[in-house]
Amino acid sequence: MTHVEDGRLELADVRRRLSAIFVGSIGNLVEWYDFYAYAAFSLYFASAFFPGTDPVVQQLNAAILFAFGFIVRPIGGWLFGHLADHYGRRSALMLSVLLMCFGSLMIAVTPTYASIGIGAPIMLGLARMIQGLSLGGEYGTSATYLTEVADEKHRGFYSSFQYVTLIGGQLCAILVLLLLQQVFLTPVQLKAWGWRIPFVVGALLAIVALLMRRNLHETDDFMALKKLTTRKTSSIAALAKYPREVLVVVGLTMGGTTAFYTYTTYMQKFLKLSVGLNDTQTTLVTASSLIFALVLQPIYGALSDRIGRKPLLIWFGVMGTLCTIPLLRSLQATRSALVAWLLIAAAWLIVAGYTSINAVVKAELFPTRVRATGVGVPYAVTVSIFGGTAESLALWFKSIGHEGWFAYYLTAVIATSLIVYASMRDTKHDSAMGRHE
């Protein structure tokens, strides 16, 4: 074979990988847009589902239903992890985005409390649980897929696009909110019926993502495993053979997921209810800080390909432990939108040490046979306990007059994860990728 032919084959391989990463990432973006549209628009629809006059209590009720979406995520992680590990990553990715489409459409058409009473929040909670099932499967499967289609030298960079699209999904939800606020609707219209629009948009985008995912190719790792064996075993039983890896996933996720949801879903409410910014300022600060966070992900991911995964995790653990309390106190004290943005940007410089590489670290812990389940299930359990409750816990502390306590809680959780970061192996240099056992 000539050098020219070698070059063409190599270029074709790169194009195939990039195409797979792009399509997989776009689907991930749509899923997270649908999931986060709830958080972005809850300031407008909470009163439609929860009667009363106290906006903090209404937001707390909405946040509790937001947490419902996390309760079922371990089930989604197990179900879709089993499908991905036994029948292929592609099939699981297609089914997860189809389920998200249904959940979003359900929210869009759910009647208000004034129309059907207690049935309204019940239907809303059911839709959130459907979305949670979908997202519980999406994370582990997409992390596995993106890691497996990337080449070894750039695995950290390519897999960082999971959080690029994850943050991008939330950013899209915020941008839709900004457009509706500033261009198309009045505040009264937005509160009355306009909040339904993003969920209709999300359902339509999910259909587009489903059509795109039809053309995804299966990963080489899964195809190699399929050739080795046709034996189907219980995913949980197979996962039980890797207790240390499971505990590492739980430990490294605790602090990172709590910090992530603090500076994403909760921060919008914090800026409005605690800092005192108006609707436009809140949306602009939230959106621009998410853009900054999005840009950081591939930079940190590429850095991990050079220096390893562990130094970035330790950076997050040390700086998160030292800086969380002063950052949140300073945020609460300021009344300036610019200062608020700078403080949130500083927080993202820290949190990106976790978000950019956590997917690749988890995937590198497990062999092909249990990778999607190993990434998805312990992660989903941990996110349900720590990430999904971050917003409601912070709002509860505020409702009882002790908002500052949340900063101490977040610091303690990050410090616990730091112990795991310091004691775990660096998966860049000691990876299970390529093992099919």
**Dihedral, CA atoms, 200, 204, 209, 214, nearest 10 degrees?**
140
% residues pLDDT > 70 (the chain): 89
pLDDT tens for residues 330-354?
Answer: 988 888 889 999 999 999 999 999 9
Q: How far apart are the two ends of the chain, measured CA to CA in Å?
A: 33
pTM for the model: 0.81
Instruction: Return the pLDDT at 231.
Output: 57
Give me the mean pLDDT over the 105-116 stretch: 84
Instruction: Return the pLDDT at 299.
Output: 94
Instruction: Answer whether residue 119 shows pLDDT above 80.
Output: yes
Give me the mean pLDDT over the 77-100 stretch: 82
Range from 76-80, 153-157, 223-227, 353-357 carrying the lowest mean pLDDT: 223-227
**Phi, psi (rounded to 5 degrees) for 433:** -60, 135
Instruction: Answer whether residue 414 shows pLDDT above 90.
Output: yes
Coil, strand, or helix at residue 129?
helix
Cβ-contact 340, 275 below 8 angstroms:
yes
The backbone region for 311, taken as left when phi is positive above 0, alpha when psi lies in -120 to 50, beta otherwise, is: alpha
pLDDT band with cut points at 50, 70 and 90 for residue 107: confident
Question: Could you write out the DSSP letters of every residue in 155-188?
Answer: HHHHHTHHHHHHHHHHHHHHHHHHHIIIII--HH
Cβ-contact 300, 160 below 8 angstroms:
yes
Instruction: Return the pLDDT at 2.
Output: 56
pLDDT band with cut points at 50, 70 and 90 for residue 13: low
CATH class of 20-228+240-423: mainly alpha
Q: 192 Cβ partners below 8 Å, 6+ apart?
A: none
The highest-confidence range among 58-62, 179-183, 252-256, 378-382, by mean pLDDT, is 252-256
Instruction: Answer whether residue 89 shows pLDDT above 60.
Output: yes
Burial of 291 (0-12, 13-18, 19+ CB in 10 A): middle
The highest-confidence range among 86-100, 109-123, 239-253, 319-333, by mean pLDDT, is 319-333
Instruction: Answer whether residue 317 shows pLDDT above 90.
Output: yes
List the one residue out of 313, 415, 414, 411 whose CA is nearest residue 362.
313
Q: Determine the distance from the C-alpha atom of residue 128 to the mean position of all C-alpha atoms in its chain, rounded to a whole number.
A: 15
Give me the mean pLDDT over the 289-298 stretch: 92
